[in-house]
Amino acid sequence: MSTLVLVGTQWGDEGKGKVTDVLSESADVVVRYQGGTNAGHTVVVGGERFALRQVPSGILHGKDCVIGNGVVFDPGRFLEEIAELARRGLDVSRVRISDAAHVIFPYHLRIDQMGEDRLGPARIGTTRLGIGPAYMDKVARTGIRVGDLFRPEYFRRRLAQALTRANERLEREFGSPGFHLEQLLAEYEGYARRLEPFVTDTVAFLNEAIDAGRRVLFEGAQGTMLDLDHGTYPYVTSSYPTAGGACLGSGVAPTRIDGVLGVAKAYTSRVGDGPFPTELTDETGETIRERGREYGTATGRPRRCGWLDAVVLRHSALVSGLGGLALNHLDTLTGLHPLKIAAAYELDGRVTERLPRQVDDLARARPIYEELPGWDEPVEEARSFEELPEGARRYVEAVERLSGVPVVMISVGPEREQTFARRDPFQMTRETARRKA
Ligand code: IMP
């Protein structure tokens, strides 16, 4: 197996960065295929914390890193991130950016922020980083792609058109001053000069890498429940964090994808608004938040926390064809009794095992929990399934039974060494995914 897609199975922040970091060791190329600066991957290496936004976590292993066409790309923030990584001694020369990725401009951020403020309590709770408006421009065919930055005449024409629309919107809808064309052109032409060495046709690069038998890891951002189509619409992001998004966002065909690994936390968290059936607003939720350090990497917002939801995991397995699960943050649950996992929901007096498709139904759904005794022994030192206390093993087995997906990796702490594999995720076969679906 040479291509593996890694997807978040919940509402993002499942610890995909850490899993990618571990798997990067046996990968040759790591690709981001959707989202943008809204992603925040925190990876701890040797006690040092790296907060990555746009650069794939493979950078920490010196692997080839690709920012695919499906990403919305913020050049200013990228250059800051690269400078910081270089300052900390990492080789950034192997980062490649797709010439077809769409570019985020300051007006996208302002429209995002003002739009959210105006919605008041009906807001989505976005990261306010311009992601939605940048994807809106892409779909409206008014967006500007990375490759356009290197064609001065064309870039000027496209930016002038896009800016007229954006300024009209800002001034008329929000009463906010607009942006100046010449200033933006100067700023982005400056970025273009510095970006040039990184920009390439990543579709060709990736397909040639696969032809050559190199291992490619697709690093999803956000999670299934934030997918534009398969998440809790409208409380979603504007891209496709599910497995299909990896193909769209990279130019690698579905027939070339060998496996899909889902990443889940041993509990659930959500930032932003929208329904969350297993949310805990009590002391247990607070304990999980504190122990799990559940504060947003991109925004610093406290995350909403709750029990694991197997209805969500099954939905994710269905839409992404998961062959295995990486289960993170098992250590966070030590000492909590009993532990609960939502096995199904009760909705208007009926039991359902499937995720309700409408957001108002999901908001009314009441979880039906399966309880597990939990454990008190520390798990941080465990390096295999067998070394886990019995209560933790039972919990992992319950996750497998209720989700229908084998747990192939487990993590018991933030450090690289605290993640161990029960099976090589690159060896999961399509058959596993088919059997489980
Ligand atoms: P946007 O992606 O900034 O438009 O935000 C849309 C929704 O996705 C909001 O609920 C955000 O909190 C959520 N979101 C976006 N990126 C992440 C992430 O990396 N982790 C968790 N939630 C995210």
Domain residue ranges of the chain, discontinuous segments joined by +: 2-86+202-436, 104-197
Nearest CA to ligand 1 atom 21: 12
Q: Residue 359 burial (CB < 10 Å; 0-12/13-18/19+)?
A: middle
**Does the beta carbon of 262 sit less than 6 angstroms from any atom of ligand 1?**
no
Atom of ligand 1 nearest to the CA of 38: 16
Q: Say yes or no: CB of residue 125 within 6 Å of ligand 1.
A: yes
DSSP-derived pairing of the beta strands 41-45 and 48-52? antiparallel
Question: Within 10 Å of residue 420's Cβ, how many Cβ atoms?
Answer: 16
Q: Which residues contact 86 (CB under 8 A, 6 or more apart)?
A: 92
What is the CA(235)–ligand 1 centre distance, in A?
A: 9
Highest CATH level, class, for 104-197: mainly alpha
38 within ligand 1 shell (Cβ under 6 A): yes
Whole-number Å distance, alpha carbon 423 to ligand 1 midpoint, is 31
Regarding the beta carbon of 222 and ligand 1, being less than 6 Å apart is answered yes
Pocket flag, ligand 1, residue 40 (CB < 6 Å): yes
State the maximum Cα–Cα separation within the chain, in Å, rounded to a whole number: 66
226 lines ligand 1 (CB under 6 A): yes
How many Å apart are CA 118 and CA 253, to the nearest integer?
Answer: 40
* Gap from CA of 11 to ligand 1 centroid (Å): 8
99 is catalytic: no
Rounded alpha-carbon distances, angstroms, from residue 19 to 27, 31, 137, 368, 416: 12, 14, 32, 30, 9
Report the distance separating Cα 396 and Cα 416, nearest Å.
20
| Predicted pLDDT at 306 | 98
What type of residue sits at position 93? S
The response to whether residue 54 sits with its C-beta less than 6 Å from ligand 1 reads no
The alpha carbon of 134 and the centre of ligand 1 are apart by a number of angstroms equal to 14
Closest listed residue to residue 205, CA positions, set 28, 74, 1: 28
Q: How far is the CA of 53 from the centre of ligand 1 (A)?
A: 12
Atom of ligand 1 nearest to the CA of 40: 19
Q: Whose CA is nearest to atom 20 of ligand 1?
A: 12
Q: Which of 41, 102, 108, 230 is catalytic?
A: 41
Asked whether 291 and 325 are in contact (CB, 8 A), the reply is no
Residues paired with residue 35 on neighbouring β-strands, in sequence order: 71
Q: Is 238 in the pocket of ligand 1 (CB under 6 A)?
A: yes
For the record, the structure tokens of 240 come out as 């496709």
Nearest CA to ligand 1 atom 5: 126
Assess whether 230 carries a catalytic annotation: no
Residue (of 264, 197, 223) closest to 408 by Cα position = 264
Q: At CB < 8 A and 24+ separation, what contacts does 294-301 make? A: 294/13, 294/269, 296/13, 296/40, 296/127, 296/271, 297/13, 297/40, 297/41, 297/42, 297/51, 297/53, 298/37, 298/38, 298/39, 298/40, 298/53, 298/127, 298/129, 299/40, 299/127, 299/128, 299/271, 301/271
Residue 271: CB within 6 Å of ligand 1? yes
Q: What CATH number should be reported for the domain whose range is 2-86+202-436?
A: 3.90.170.10
CB 160 within 8 Å of CB 186: no
Residue nearest to atom 16 of ligand 1 (CA): 38
CA of 97 to the centre of ligand 1 (A): 22
In whole angstroms, give the CA distance from residue 84 to residue 51: 10
Angle, helices 181-195/75-87, rounded to nearest 10 degrees? 40
Phi/psi class of residue 274: alpha, beta or left (left: φ > 0; alpha: ψ in -120 to 50)? Answer: left
Query: pLDDT (tens digit, 0 to 9) for every residue of the chain, 437 residues total?
Result: 699 999 999 999 999 988 998 999 999 999 999 999 999 887 888 788 888 999 998 999 999 999 999 999 999 999 999 999 999 999 999 999 999 999 999 999 999 999 999 999 989 999 999 999 999 999 999 999 999 999 999 999 999 999 999 999 999 999 999 999 999 999 999 999 999 999 999 999 999 999 999 999 999 999 999 999 999 999 999 999 999 999 999 999 999 999 999 999 999 999 989 999 999 999 999 999 999 999 987 778 899 999 999 999 999 999 999 999 999 999 999 999 999 999 999 999 999 999 999 999 999 999 999 999 999 999 999 999 999 999 999 999 999 999 999 999 999 998 889 999 998 888 875 545 555 44
The number of the ligand 1 atom at minimal distance from the alpha carbon of 35 is 2
Query: Which ligand 1 atom is nearest residue 128's CA?
Result: 3
**pTM summary value:** 0.95
Nearest residue (CA) to ligand 1, atom 15: 38
